[in-house]
């Protein structure tokens, strides 16, 4: 599960990080930076998965910028280049939230975190990366997207999940069939990739307003 991370750790990546852009947060709050993982406030099991298993030696620029803000309850937009560590920047605080608050996996699939992505490929990548960070912590993750056999996908959701990764079309189908309960009370909502945010939001809220 961690072999790719171990291989990537052989290369110096910090110099490749471009400047990140964070909006939605007052400038006075952006002085908070995560200079090392020890200051993140994460528990032992999560830290093991980040540092020992995934070989994340220190926070990347986007992670250093947004993790403290998310941990302090700010809603924000973060923009950074592909490969800059954005996934960890938003899923680590969600995993930590579930661990800290002891959220159980709901057999009806009532996720605490909902992460939306425009394609099944990206949904799968985000899901797999989050499984690495959540392994052994008790935090459960699930995925739902098109071309995933419906019956098998139903079974995965019925096992429950704390964090759900989804494409909009399949998510809409499952909400209509009552397979994802308490969806609108999910706390962290993370539309992935800013370019599709507006369209996904319009589709989602147009659908929910009709219900």
Separation between Cα atoms, residue 21 and residue 66, nearest integer Å: 10
* pLDDT score of 151: 85
Domain range annotation of the chain: 3-177
* pLDDT score of 106: 55
* pLDDT score of 39: 94
* pLDDT score of 207: 42
Joined tokens for residue 124: 């799968």
* pLDDT score of 89: 94
CB of 154 closer than 8 Å to CB of 132: no
CB of 96 closer than 8 Å to CB of 116: no
pLDDT tens digits for range 110-169: 788 889 898 999 999 999 999 999 999 999 899 999 888 888 988 888 777 889 999 988
CATH fold for domain 3-177: Rossmann fold (3.40.50)
Instruction: Name residue 77's beta-bridge partners.
Output: 23
CB of 120 closer than 8 Å to CB of 148: yes
Residues of the chain short of pLDDT 70, as ranges, are 5-17, 103-109, 181-211
Joined tokens for residue 38: 């020890």
Q: Is 149 helix (H, G, I), strand (E, B) or coil?
A: coil
Joined tokens for residue 79: 């923009």
């Amino acid at each position: 599960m961690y072999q790719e991370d171990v291989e990537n750790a052989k290369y110096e990546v910090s110099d490749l990080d471009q400047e990140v852009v964070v909006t939605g947060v007052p400038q006075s709050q952006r002085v908070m930076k995560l200079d090392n993982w020890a200051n993140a406030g994460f528990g032992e099991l999560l830290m093991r998965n980040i540092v020992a298993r995934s070989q994340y030696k220190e926070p990347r620029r986007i992670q250093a910028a947004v993790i403290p803000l998310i941990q302090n309850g700010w809603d924000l937009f973060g923009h950074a280049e592909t490969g800059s560590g954005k996934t960890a920047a938003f899923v680590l605080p969600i995993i930590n939230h579930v661990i800290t608050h002891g959220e159980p996996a709901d057999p009806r699939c009532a996720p605490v975190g909902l992460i939306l992505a425009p394609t099944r490929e990206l949904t799968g990548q985000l899901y797999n990366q989050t499984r690495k960070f959540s392994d052994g912590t008790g935090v459960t993750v699930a995925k739902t997207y098109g071309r995933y056999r419906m019956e098998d996908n139903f079974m995965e959701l019925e096992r429950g999940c704390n964090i759900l990764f989804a494409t909009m079309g399949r998510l809409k189908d499952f909400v209509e069939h009552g397979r994802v309960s308490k969806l609108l009370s999910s706390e962290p909502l993370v539309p992935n990739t800013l370019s599709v945010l507006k369209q996904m939001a319009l589709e989602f809220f147009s659908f929910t307003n009709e219900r």
